[in-house]
Amino acid sequence: MKEFVVNASFALYALITLGGAVWAVTAESLVRALLGLTISLMGVAALYVLIAAPFVALMQILIYVGAVVVLIFFAIMLTRAQAEAEEARPGDRGRLLRSGAVGLAVAGLLAAACLKHGPALVGTAAEVSPAQLGETFLGQYLLGFEVISVVLFAAMAGAVLLAFERRKGA
Amino acid sequence: MNALSLYQLVAFGLLGVGIFGLLARRSLVGMLISVELMLNGAGLAVVAAGQLTPMPDALAQSTTLFVMGLAAAESTLVLAIVYVVRGRFGSASADAVSELKG
């Protein structure tokens, strides 16, 4: 019974994730594409919970759904990208076919390699407490932790600089 | 088929859909959405590999948290770049930003 519940919820979450992803890349309206992305991100968060990583799931919702999606929404609004909807053009069918072939080829190749040479599994997934994660960040990987702060600062300073420069020129 | 393979198939599904979107979309914001999908697939694969193999679990989860931080930085910058492109070329479409012939 327990196994059935786990399998059924995995299938449901995988469906939500992949369905949201497909909607995100096929929707004509960018706001709808963003909604598809949000659904896909929530599906991935549910998959994290299912694999006993609740902290990562919470961070996924906090960072991706809370910050990145809002940022992309701002990008849509500020650039009025929504107004210029993607109209179908004559050469589009070939372009879609080529893009699909590339995506399928890359993912299929990696999937085949993974299925053929999969590593050994442990019985159950153990939960990692946030305290342990904190020890990892502030212990062995302190340099990476500091560098990502610098990267975030540089990205935000760069964003402000880019946006201000345009206003000065206008 | 074991649990790790199932998780990795979902991750590869996200990767394939993301590559498709990156190549098929015309607008820069649509391409950004596809990149986020691919990053999510990467994070899912890493956490699944960490949880289900003898590799240290905390290492895999902190890797995914790093990826999330980088994704936030990346989308901030892309937002600013799209804004500048929109101001300079009058459109946020990838086709507008082709000044070179060819």
The beta-carbon neighbor of B61 closest among A53, A115, A159 is: A53
- The predicted-structure confidence for A1-56, as pLDDT tens digits, reads as follows 888 998 999 999 999 999 999 999 998 888 999 999 999 999 999 999 998 889 99
Helices (H), B1-102: 3-24, 28-52, 57-89
| Any B CB within 8 A of A56 CB | yes
Find chain B residues with C-beta within 8 A of A100's C-beta: 20, 24
Chain-centre distance of CA A166, in angstroms? Answer: 30
Q: Using N-to-C axis directions, what is the helix angle for B57-89 and A69-79, rounded to 10°?
A: 10
| In chain B, domain spans | 3-91
Between the CA of residue B66 and those of A52, A55, A63, B46, B70, what are the distances in Å? 19, 14, 11, 11, 6
A1-81 topology per CATH: Four Helix Bundle (Hemerythrin (Met), subunit A) (1.20.120)
Question: Count of CB atoms within 10 A of residue A73's CB?
Answer: 16
- The predicted-structure confidence for B83-93, as pLDDT tens digits, reads as follows 888 888 877 77
When pLDDT is cut at 50, 70 and 90, the band that residue B100 belongs to is confident
| Any B CB within 8 A of A122 CB | yes
| In chain A, domain spans | 1-81, 129-165
How much is the mean pLDDT over chain A?
86
**Across the interface, do A128 and B61 touch by the CB < 8 Å criterion?**
yes
CATH 3.40.50.2000 fits B3-91, yes or no: no
**Across the interface, do A68 and B62 touch by the CB < 8 Å criterion?**
no
Please give the pLDDT value at position B26.
83
CA angle B12, A152, A51 (to 5 degrees): 35
- Percent pLDDT > 70 in chain A is 89
Strand partners, B27: B93
Q: Provide the chain A residues 24-53 that lie in CB contact (below 8 A) with chain B.
A: 24-25, 30, 33-34, 37, 40-41, 44, 47-48, 51-53
Token pair, residue A126, equals 């153990």
